[in-house]
Structure 1
Amino acid sequence: MRVRIKGDVLCTLLLVIVLCTLLYSLMRSTNNQDTAYYKKSKESKSLVKTGNVKSYLEKPKSMGKTKLLSDDYKSSNEEPKAPTTQPPFDFQLYLRSKDYRNFSLMINQPNKCKRSTTDPFLLIAVKSIVEEFDRRESVRKTWGREGMISGVRVQRVFLLGTPKNKTAVSMWESLMHQESHYYKDILLWDFIDTFFNLTLKEIHFLRWAEEFCANAQFIFKGDADVFVNVENLINYLQNQNASEDLFVGDIINQARPIRSKKSKYYIPETMYGLGLYPPYAGGGGFLMSGITMKKLSQACQEVELFPIDDVFLGMCLQRINLKPVMHVGFKTFGITKPSAAPHMETFNPCFYRDLMVVHSLKPAEIWLMWNLLHGQQLPCSQKQRIKKPFHWKKAKQRVKAVTN
């Protein structure tokens, strides 16, 4: 009897101990949760007070020490995010190095203007960068074709510098030599091809043209993203005297330096203190005679370099006392839609056939427009041609472009 009582007591004590242990562990975990909740609640309240609710809500939830393998994979294969804003242009560095203007020619075309018995009537020079092979091909196959065009000889060159990030363009130097060997139209200098180095491209091309293509009667210089109606250029130039000065384009007068640091064209007063720029041509494309090219080549060696190439060339024109001529056929800012017809489709060959230069087209658009203009007969009436400014009929009538 005594033995049974002792056994029951021992079992009861063991059960009590186990129950107490379980209750203690449960109470401890509950207290931890309450403490974490209190901290989290306190953090959220402080964030509400400081106005950082959004950052709190967007804060990733912690998963403790557990880490998924997929997280390691994503972090190792994720591309670094590009900076949202471009770093400001280093004007001090530019000012320190701008007096150096003699860069070597890595790829030359010394016989470009000597291959034929007849001198080139028109030399086409196109600004390009190494990466834009598709744009160069579009120009070669369309408006930039070499040979006899409208009864005169046309030659072509592309103007390039070295890429800013050489590692991003695999085997770029070998590719450029192969492209030059095949097309014989690449001019490559060893300065870095950036926006503010386009002035270097300007003076080096003028120097090259004076040395290797002095027999060209006229020069067209433009961008790779323009459409050029070469037949219209030639028709215009055949009425001009190559032995006289000529500089024609979309001329910008009374332009003021931009002082906003956010602008791509920002120029501090320490670099240019005057209130107005001299008249200059929009860089999308312009024409000049051979005699003007030679004068500009000499003048640009004497004018202090300026980071905006269009304005810099205007300074060189000012030095030789030559006033550039405005021509309505140069649309270096694109074809502007008339306010009376905001839904009008301007990408129309009936508009393009009377123009000379239209800026900001994609390679496919250049190819398409050239083929439309040189294909079958265009269904354009005389009223749709735009030799003169637009005149619009009254409202609620069908809107058409008319000429007097």
Structure 2
Amino acid sequence: MRFRPRCDQRANCGVLFFVFLVPSTVVNFLWYASSNVSPNARKPLPSAILWQTSVDAYNMSLLNEVTDFTTLVDKTDFRFLINNRRCDDAQDIFLVIFIHSAPDHFQKRRAIRKTWGQERHLVDDPLRIVFMVGEVQGRDDVQKALERENYIHRDMVQGNFLDTYKNLTYKHVMGLKWVTYFCRQAKYIFKTDDDIFVDIFQLVTYLKGSSGLAPPRGLIMCFLIRNPYVKRSQRSKWRVSFKEYPGKYYPPYCAGWGIIMSPDVVFNLYLQSTQVPYFWVDDVHVSGTLAQRAGVNHVDFTNKLSVTEEEIFEWLQSPKLSRPYLFGHPDAEVDTIYALWNKTYWYYKRTGSRR
């Protein structure tokens, strides 16, 4: 991987002492407009025959070729309201990242695009990023803004389910579905949220150093939550009734803000999602129940993912230029994302190190 970072930031990051200029919106718009087809243009789906002979990890013959594309878990009228086949332009993609976002999180998506999510940072290890969102109800202004955003950036995927807490499993499985149908050449798949910072250079170096250019089969690596109680409190937004989940404990599952998977795991989780009743706590359902049914054993990545807000701010405020954390803490503010990126970029620029 040849390091060629470029830094974009806002002027009010505060913690740091340098400013980098960003390309103008006009230039970005012209570039995207010239390199992408009309948003209404639809490419035909691959044929079932090609599916069976394309990539070993994805045995598409196990899916119902007549109904599967329009099915999402128990939803039989599924369709992509917005879709971008972002992997069609490359035979080899090292990492594809699908990011859970909410329709009105415009600033969070902008921060990722202008910091760690810029695909051009990785010259020799192609990266693709897509944002997963659900449908907006009664907010035509938000939907139109989403469509304008997608027209410029071409990195949105929207499904026809309401974007709510109770529908997060649809969003998670839609990410697996999108990779299964549109990005099967990716060697690694990373699922995260739009409030997380990622040192993308260190992540790629870590994956290549620990697993090589291609991951081992059966890889699912995450901050592992073991034997968690089912939340029954009326005050919890994650409260689950005994009817919804009768057990006292969930199976071990991944914190949803950082899950690294091999292609076969993505496909097997997606395949299991077509056979298991819907459960709305997506992290539990996908990385717990479906993973258990697929016979997948988690790799605990806690030592890399576990970092507190206090540790992050201590690193930001330190005058020493020390190695960045691989990930930021969950629920990070937009300003924190920019500040983390700026110091991370400066670290690699000054040291030339990616380890």
- Is 1:297 aligned to residue 266 of structure 2? no
Residue pair 1:254, 1:276 contacting (<8 A) in 2 also: yes
Shift of 1:319: 0.6
TM superposition shift of 1:308: 0.6
Kindly provide the CA deviation profile for residues 140-194 of structure 1, in whole angstroms up to 9, marking residues without a partner as x: 0111111351630001100001124x23xx5223222221121110101111000
State the match for 1:358 in structure 2: 329
> Match of 2:292, as an amino acid?
Q
Whether 1:232 aligns to 2:202 is: yes
Q: Compute the displacement of 1:208 (Å).
A: 1.5
For the residues of structure 2 that align with 1:220 and 1:188, how far apart are their CA atoms?
A: 18
TM-score, normalized by length of structure 2?
Answer: 0.71
Residues 1:263 and 1:346: Cα distance change in structure 2 (over 3 Å): farther
Select which of 279, 304, 320 maps to 1:306: 279
The answer to whether the 8 Å contact 1:150/1:234 transfers is no
**SS of corresponding position for 1:219:** strand
Mark the CA change 1:378 to 1:187 in structure 2 (over 3 Å): closer, same or farther.
closer
Of the three residues 58, 63, 81, the one matched with 1:106 is 81
Give the whole-Å Cα distance in 2 for the aligned partners of 1:357 and 1:300: 30
Is contact 2:224–2:252 with CA below 8 Å preserved after alignment?
A: yes
**Structure 2 SS opposite 1:171:** helix
Residue type at the aligned position of 1:266? R
Change in Cα spacing, 1:351 to 1:282, as seen in structure 2 (3 Å) is farther
- The aligned runs of 1:5-404 (5 Å cut-off) are 99-100=74-75, 102-110=77-85, 112-116=86-90, 118-147=91-120, 149=122, 151-164=124-137, 166-167=138-139, 170-238=140-208, 239-240=210-211, 241-242=214-215, 244-313=217-286, 314-327=288-301, 328-331=303-306, 334-335=307-308, 345=314, 347=316, 353-375=324-346
Equivalenced residues, count: 272
**Greater RCO, 1 or 2 (C-alpha within 8 Å, sep 6+):** 2
Instruction: Provide the C-alpha distance between the structure 2 equivalents of 1:255 and 1:199, rounded to a whole number of angstroms.
Output: 18
Check the 8 A contact 1:124/1:219 in 2, yes or no. yes
In the alignment, structure 2 segments of 5+ residues that lack a partner are 1-72
- In the alignment, the residues of structure 1 paired with residue 350 and residue 122 of structure 2 have an alpha-carbon distance, to the nearest angstrom, of 24
Alignment RMSD: 2.5
2:314 partner SS: coil
Aligned-partner Cα distance in 1 for 2:147–2:207: 34
- Rounded to whole Å, the distance in 2 between the matches of 1:316 and 1:352 is 36
Q: Would the alpha carbon gap of residues 212 and 378 (structure 1) be closer, same or farther in structure 2, given more than 3 Å must change?
A: closer
Task: Report the identity percentage.
Answer: 28
Mapped contact 1:150–1:231 kept (Cα < 8 A):
no
Contact in 2 for aligned 1:285/1:357 (Cα 8 Å): no
Alpha-carbon shift at residue 337 of structure 1 (Å): 5.2
CA distance in 2, matches of 1:376, 1:266: 43
After superposition, what is the alpha-carbon deviation per residue over 1:233-275, rounded to whole angstroms, capped at 9, x for unaligned? Answer: 2112113143512111110001010111111111111111111
> How far has the Cα of 1:355 moved from its partner?
2.5
In structure 2, C-alpha distance between the alignment counterparts of 1:375 and 1:352, rounded to whole Å: 10
Distance 1:134-1:326 versus aligned 2 partners, 3 A rule: same
